[in-house]
C-alpha cells in the first residue's frame, strides 16, 4: 500500500512540476523577450517621449539690450563641444550625435576603377543611396549611418558660422552649397529641407528630383543618450514616409509629450517638450501702453521691454525668443500653420516672427551683424533680414534653461552697429555707409587662455549600494578596478558622467558632483582632484542578466518543493 501511495505521489509530483515548470518557463521567456525589446529600443536610440533643454545658439556678442548675445538663454555648451575621435569621426558632446569628420561627401573607393560609393554634390534620392552604400561598406567601422533629419542637421549650425566647425574638428565643410536633410518640406512634399552652414543654419527647401538640386551629404549616427545637459534632439513631427530611411521612416529624436502644449488658463501656454512658456496670443497684441502689430527688429525688443515694465500677464521676465527657441515650435509635418496640431495658441500669423539672434555670416559679408533671423510659422522656413528693413511679428517667451556660460571667452559686447540707410528694395548694399574694403569691424572673440599643458588632475568615481551598473565619462575614458574608476584630466575640464544601471537596479543618488543634470547624469568641473560616488539601488535583484536564469531556477525549485510537501510527509 505504501508503495502504491508513494508511486501515486511521485507521479503527482512529476506532473505538477512539469506543468508548473512549463507555464513558468513561458512567462520567463515572454518577460525576457520584453526586456530585450525595451533594451534594444533604448540602445538603438528609438523614439521615446520626454523633455529636452534647448542649447544656447553660440552667440556671445550683444547688439542691443535683451537680444540673444545679451541673455544667452539655453544650455551652455560643454568645453570642448566637439571631440575628434581619431577615427575620422567627430562626436558632438552637446547632442550626443556622431558625425563623419569629412563634411565634403567624399568618394569611397578607388576612383581609377569603380568607386564603392560616389560622393560629391547629389540629389535627394541619391543621398539615401550614398548613405546605404556607406553602411554596406561599413564606412569607418559602422553600418548605421543615416541622412540626418532637419533638427539633427540644424544642431550643427551655430551663430559662429561654418568657420567655427572647420576650426573645431571637421574638414571640408562646404561653404558654397547646402546640405540635404532627410526631412520633407510639408508645404510642398516634392521638396526637402536643406541647411546652409555658411550662414548659421538657414533652413530652405529644394526640389528632390530636379537635376539642378545637387547638394552635399553629411552622415550622422547614434544620438538620444549622453547629451550634455539634456540637450537632446527632438523629433521633427514628420510621420509620412516618402522613401526608406527618411525622417518619416526613422522618426529619430525625443518624441513629443502628449499633449504637447498646456493652456495655463492665464493667457499663457507651456510647451511640455521644452518647458518654455509662451504668450497665448501670437499676433503681437496691443497690451496697455505697448503698441502691437508688426515691428522692426529693435521695435520687437522694445515691445518686449514694454511688456515687462507693465508686468504683462503678471510677469516681468518676457523676452524675444532666440532662434533655437523660435524654431522649437515648428512642426515639420504641418503647414499653414507649421505648429503642432491641437495647439491652444490664438491668432498664429502666416507671416514671419523675429528672433533675438543676429545673423553672423562670414567676416567679409556686408550684411554681417546687420541682419537678424526670422521664422515663418506658415511653412517653417527661416532666413535673415535687415534689422532696419524687415517688419515682422513678436511672440514673447519666458522660462526655460537659465544661462550658465562655460568659462570660455566672454568678450565685452560691441556697441550697437550704426544703422544702415533703409533700403527701398531687398538688400543690395549701397556703398555709401561703409567702404567695401573693410566692413565695420566686429572682432571675433578671442578665446580664454587654455589650461597649462601638464596640469592634470584625477577624477575618481566609486560605485556604491546594493545594485550595480556602469559609469561612462565624456570626454575621456574611465579605467575601472572593481567598484572604483579613475581618469586623468587637464585642469578645468568639464566632465559629464552617465550611469547605466543593470537589470533590476536603479540610480539612487550622486554625491560629489558640481551639477546634477538628471537622475542618470551629472557634471564635474575638474578644478582639482575630484571624487564622485554613484549609488545603485536594487538589493539582490541587481544581478546581471546572465545570472537571471540561475536565479529563476532556484526560485522554481523552492516553489516546487513547497508544493510537494504533502506527499513528502506521507
Q: Tell me, what's the pLDDT at 485?
A: 94
Residues of the chain with pLDDT under 50: 1-10, 13-18, 20-21, 24, 26, 28-48, 364, 403-454, 540-570
Pairing type for strands 352-358 and 371-376 reads: antiparallel
In 3D space, the residue among 324, 273, 342, 225 whose CA is nearest the CA of residue 50 turns out to be 273
Rounded CA gap, 51 and 217, in Å?
29
In 3D space, the residue among 144, 143, 163, 162 whose CA is nearest the CA of residue 153 turns out to be 162
* Cα separations in angstroms, 132 against 117, 137, 144, 209: 9, 9, 9, 19
- H-only helix segments in 288-371: 297-309, 323-327
**C-alpha torsion sign, points 424, 425, 426, 428:** negative
Rounded CA gap, 68 and 88, in Å?
34
Kindly report the backbone phi and psi dihedral angles of residue 176, in degrees, each rounded to the nearest multiple of 5, phi listed first: -95, -5
Rounded CA gap, 141 and 20, in Å?
47
Burial of 27 (0-12, 13-18, 19+ CB in 10 A): exposed
User: Strand, helix or coil at 321?
Assistant: coil
Q: Which residues contact 431 (CB under 8 A, 6 or more apart)?
A: none
| Three cell numbers, residue 219 | 552622415
Beta bridge partners of 469: 501
Residue 564 has what DSSP assignment? T
Rounded CA gap, 80 and 447, in Å?
12
Tens digit of each residue's pLDDT (9 = 90 or more) over 529-567: 999 999 988 754 333 333 333 333 333 333 333 333 333
Q: Which residues contact 492 (CB under 8 A, 6 or more apart)?
A: 407, 451, 525, 526, 527
Cα dihedral 367/369/370/371 (nearest 10)? 80
- The upper half-sphere exposure of residue 192, i.e. CA atoms within 13 Å in the direction of its Cβ, equals 32
| Three cell numbers, residue 28 | 520567463
User: Are 223 and 97 within 8 A, CB to CB?
Assistant: yes
State how far Cα 276 lies from the chain centre: 16
* Residues 297, 299, 303: CA angle, nearest 5 degrees: 120
Rounded CA gap, 157 and 92, in Å?
12
Rounded CA gap, 286 and 295, in Å?
12
Rounded CA gap, 246 and 181, in Å?
9
Q: Which residues contact 553 (CB under 8 A, 6 or more apart)?
A: none
Express the helix, strand and coil content of the chain in percent, nearest 5 each.
20, 25, 55
Burial of 342 (0-12, 13-18, 19+ CB in 10 A): exposed
| Three cell numbers, residue 534 | 554613484
Q: Tell me, what's the pLDDT at 215?
A: 96
Q: Which residues of 357-379 are buried (b: 16+ CB within 10 A; e: fewer)?
A: bbbbbeeebbbbbbbbbbbbbbb
Rounded CA gap, 19 and 564, in Å?
13
Q: Before 70, cis peptide (omega within 30)?
A: no
Q: What is the set of domains in the chain, with CATH numbers?
A: 47-424 (no CATH), 456-537 (3.10.20)
In 3D space, the residue among 61, 228, 74, 299 whose CA is nearest the CA of residue 161 turns out to be 61
* Residues 144, 147, 150: CA angle, nearest 5 degrees: 135
With residue 478 as reference, give the H or E element that holds it: none
**C-alpha torsion sign, points 329, 335, 337, 343:** negative
With residue 153 as reference, give the H or E element that holds it: helix 150-154
Burial of 521 (0-12, 13-18, 19+ CB in 10 A): buried
How many C-beta neighbours within 10 Å does residue 292 have?
14
Amino acid at each position: 500500500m505504501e508503495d502504491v501511495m508513494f508511486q501515486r505521489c511521485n507521479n503527482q509530483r512529476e506532473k505538477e512540476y512539469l506543468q508548473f515548470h512549463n507555464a513558468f518557463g513561458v512567462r520567463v521567456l515572454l518577460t525576457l523577450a520584453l526586456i530585450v525589446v525595451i533594451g534594444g529600443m533604448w540602445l538603438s536610440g528609438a523614439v521615446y517621449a520626454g523633455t529636452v533643454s534647448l542649447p544656447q545658439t553660440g552667440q556671445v556678442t550683444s547688439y542691443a539690450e535683451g537680444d540673444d548675445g545679451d541673455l544667452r538663454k539655453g544650455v551652455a555648451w560643454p568645453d570642448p563641444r566637439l571631440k575628434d575621435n581619431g577615427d575620422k569621426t567627430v562626436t558632438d558632446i552637446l547632442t550626443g550625435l556622431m558625425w563623419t569628420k569629412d563634411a565634403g561627401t567624399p568618394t569611397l573607393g578607388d576612383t581609377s576603377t569603380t568607386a564603392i560609393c560616389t560622393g560629391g554634390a547629389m540629389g535627394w534620392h541619391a543621398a539615401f543611396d550614398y548613405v546605404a552604400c556607406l553602411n554596406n561598406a561599413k564606412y569607418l567601422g559602422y553600418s548605421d549611418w543615416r541622412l540626418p533629419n532637419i533638427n539633427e542637421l540644424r544642431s550643427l549650425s551655430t551663430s559662429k558660422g561654418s568657420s567655427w566647425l572647420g576650426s573645431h574638428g571637421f574638414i571640408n565643410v562646404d561653404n558654397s552649397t547646402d546640405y540635404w536633410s532627410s526631412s520633407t518640406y510639408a508645404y510642398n512634399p516634392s521638396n526637402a529641407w536643406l541647411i546652409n552652414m555658411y550662414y548659421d543654419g538657414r533652413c530652405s527647401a529644394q526640389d528632390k528630383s530636379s537635376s539642378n538640386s545637387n547638394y552635399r551629404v553629411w552622415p550622422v549616427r547614434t544620438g538620444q543618450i549622453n547629451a550634455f545637459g539634456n540637450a537632446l534632439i527632438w523629433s521633427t513631427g514628420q510621420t509620412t514616409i516618402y522613401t526608406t530611411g527618411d525622417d518619416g521612416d526613422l522618426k529619430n529624436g525625443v518624441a513629443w509629450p502628449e499633449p504637447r502644449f498646456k493652456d495655463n488658463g492665464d493667457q499663457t501656454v507651456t510647451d511640455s517638450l521644452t518647458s518654455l512658456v509662451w504668450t497665448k496670443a501670437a499676433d503681437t497684441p496691443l497690451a496697455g501702453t505697448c503698441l502691437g502689430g508688426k515691428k522692426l527688429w529693435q521695435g520687437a525688443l522694445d515691445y518686449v521691454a514694454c511688456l515687462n515694465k507693465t508686468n504683462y500677464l503678471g510677469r516681468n521676465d518676457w523676452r524675444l525668443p532666440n532662434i533655437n527657441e523660435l524654431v522649437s515650435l515648428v512642426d515639420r509635418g504641418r503647414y499653414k500653420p507649421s505648429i503642432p496640431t491641437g495647439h491652444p495658441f490664438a491668432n498664429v500669423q502666416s507671416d514671419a516672427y523675429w528672433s533675438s539672434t543676429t545673423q553672423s555670416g562670414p567676416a567679409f559679408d556686408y550684411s554681417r551683424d546687420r541682419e537678424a533671423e526670422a521664422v515663418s510659422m506658415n511653412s517653417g522656413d527661416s532666413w535673415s533680414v535687415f534689422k532696419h528693413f524687415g517688419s515682422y511679428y513678436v511672440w514673447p517667451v519666458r522660462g526655460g534653461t537659465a544661462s550658465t556660460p562655460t568659462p570660455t571667452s566672454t568678450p565685452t559686447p560691441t556697441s550697437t552697429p550704426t544703422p544702415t540707410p533703409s533700403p527701398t528694395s531687398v538688400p543690395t548694399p549701397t556703398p555709401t555707409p561703409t567702404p567695401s574694403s573693410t566692413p565695420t569691424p566686429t572682432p571675433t572673440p578671442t578665446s580664454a587662455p587654455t589650461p597649462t599643458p601638464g596640469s592634470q588632475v584625477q577624477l575618481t568615481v566609486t560605485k556604491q549600494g546594493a545594485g550595480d551598473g556602469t559609469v561612462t565619462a565624456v570626454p575621456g575614458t574611465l579605467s575601472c578596478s572593481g567598484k572604483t574608476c579613475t581618469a586623468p584630466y587637464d585642469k578645468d575640464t568639464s566632465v559629464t558622467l552617465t550611469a547605466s544601471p543593470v537589470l533590476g537596479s536603479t540610480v539612487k543618488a550622486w554625491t560629489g558632483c558640481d551639477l546634477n543634470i538628471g537622475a542618470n547624469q551629472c557634471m564635474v568641473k575638474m578644478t582639482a582632484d575630484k571624487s564622485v560616488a554613484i549609488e545603485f539601488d536594487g538589493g539582490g535583484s541587481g544581478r546581471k542578466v546572465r545570472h537571471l536564469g540561475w536565479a529563476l531556477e532556484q526560485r522554481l525549485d523552492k516553489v516546487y518543493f513547497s508544493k510537494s510537501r504533502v506527499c513528502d510527509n506521507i
